[in-house]
Amino acid sequence: MTPLYELHDLKQSYRKETLTLDISELSIRSDGITGLVGPNGSGKSTLLKVLSFLMPYDSGTLLYRGEPTAGRESAIRREVTYLLQNSFLLSRSVYENVAFGLKLRRTEPSEVKDRVCESLARVGLDPAEFASRQWYQLSGGEVQRAALAARLALRPRVLLLDEPTANVDEASAQLIMAAAVTEAEEHGTAVIVATHDMPWLYEMSAEIIGLYRGRVTAGAENILQGGWKPEGGHMIRSFPGGQTVYAERTEADAGRAAALDPSDVRVALSRPQQTGSVNIAAGHVVHLTLERGRNSVLVTADVGGSFLKARVPEGDPLCRELYPQREVFFIFPYSSVRWL
């Protein structure tokens, strides 16, 4: 299947000074939910804006469905829609807001009405109650849902969501995420979402892309930032409580931040014998997430106040013995800690 997006050597900078995106290779699948994870300032929003053609990039190649995008931005924007973190409604009624994009596409008036009502219902806004409301008569969560309805009404091929639940109430957050899942599963829309709702993301997404300082990073789920010190031939980072993590020291190490891919971490229920260059970190399970896209379970454990994640195959008998507060040992070689 042709990837939805292909990025090669794509660079984007802020005012030509600070590099905000520096992606050598990235493919994004054309179905299901793709998650973007990474700390604040890692470039998630910038990448979404580039993918929605709201922000130009400085250099590199961006292919959309296998074709170059240069000169086709306006046409592609008709298939790709983007929901801002803090959505904005035009100063008109909810109905007019949701119908706006449809009218631009010269949709038949009768169809406009049907699609507006359908979209509002999908985000949990009763059309009879909300359609006639003015933009200033909505709560923050309702604004976000109305804005999402305006995107869903367009029946987009690609829906880009930038922290859609960051500033909304819990009920709205659930409705927004449910609508995103429905859009992906029932309408075949490719949904690309940046969110801090990790359990939801790991459970619902088919693929997760980690970003750190504008670069695609394997293991962005576990970022070990700051506190690294050289010791002998290694770099060492201490956790509160006295546990330490070792990483190999290289010529290029920055000593500032390192990533640990959860797939490189093995989980044990009893402390194994210390052998060679292997870290053993003891912690307590705080969260278990079924990763439907990977057929695995993501185990989050509290290790000396920091949360580390490990991935266990779904069929592994170990999964049946894991539960919150269970003591576990995360085992990973020094070499799996990669410098960023």
Partner 1 sequence: MDFIANGFVQAFHLLFTADEETMVILVTTLRLTALSMALILALGLPMGFALGYFTFPGKRALCTVTDTLLALPTVVIGLLVYAFISRRGLLGDWELLFTVEGMAIGQVILGTPIVAAYTASAVEGLDSRLRQTLLTLGASGAKLAAVSLWEARFMILTAALTALGRIVGEVGSAMMLGGNIKWHTRTITTAITLETGKGDFALGIALGVILILISLLLNISLSFLRRRTQN
Interacting residue ranges for partner 1, rule: CB under 8 A: 49, 52-54, 74, 77-78, 81-84, 86-88, 90-91, 100-101, 104-105, 134, 136, 147, 150-151, 154
Written as six digits, the tokens of 58 are 């400085």
Least distance from partner 1 to the Cβ atom of residue 57, Å:
16
Amino acid at 293: G
Least distance from partner 1 to the Cβ atom of residue 286, Å:
36
In the complex with partner 1, the residue whose CB is nearer, 160 or 220, is 160
**With contact defined as beta carbons under 8 Å apart, do 33 and 180 qualify?**
yes
In the complex with partner 1, the residue whose CB is nearer, 84 or 328, is 84
Rounded distance between C-alpha atoms, residue 140 and residue 153, angstroms: 20
The arrangement of strands across the sheet holding 257-260 comes to 223-225, 257-260, 337-339
Least distance from partner 1 to the Cβ atom of residue 104, Å:
5
Least distance from partner 1 to the Cβ atom of residue 158, Å:
11
Least distance from partner 1 to the Cβ atom of residue 200, Å:
23
Amino acid at 35: G
Least distance from partner 1 to the Cβ atom of residue 81, Å:
5
Written as six digits, the tokens of 122 are 């999908």
Strands 296-303 and 306-313: antiparallel
Least distance from partner 1 to the Cβ atom of residue 277, Å:
49
Instruction: Kindly state the greatest CA–CA separation across the chain.
Output: 74
Closest CA to 253 of 235, 275, 280, 238: 235
In the complex with partner 1, the residue whose CB is nearer, 143 or 209, is 143
In the complex with partner 1, the residue whose CB is nearer, 90 or 254, is 90
In the complex with partner 1, the residue whose CB is nearer, 183 or 264, is 183
In the complex with partner 1, the residue whose CB is nearer, 29 or 77, is 77
Helix (H, G, I), strand (E, B) or coil at 336: helix
In the complex with partner 1, the residue whose CB is nearer, 105 or 229, is 105
The radius of gyration of the chain's CA atoms, rounded to the nearest angstrom, is 22
Rounded distance between C-alpha atoms, residue 31 and residue 131, angstroms: 31
**With contact defined as beta carbons under 8 Å apart, do 34 and 206 qualify?**
yes
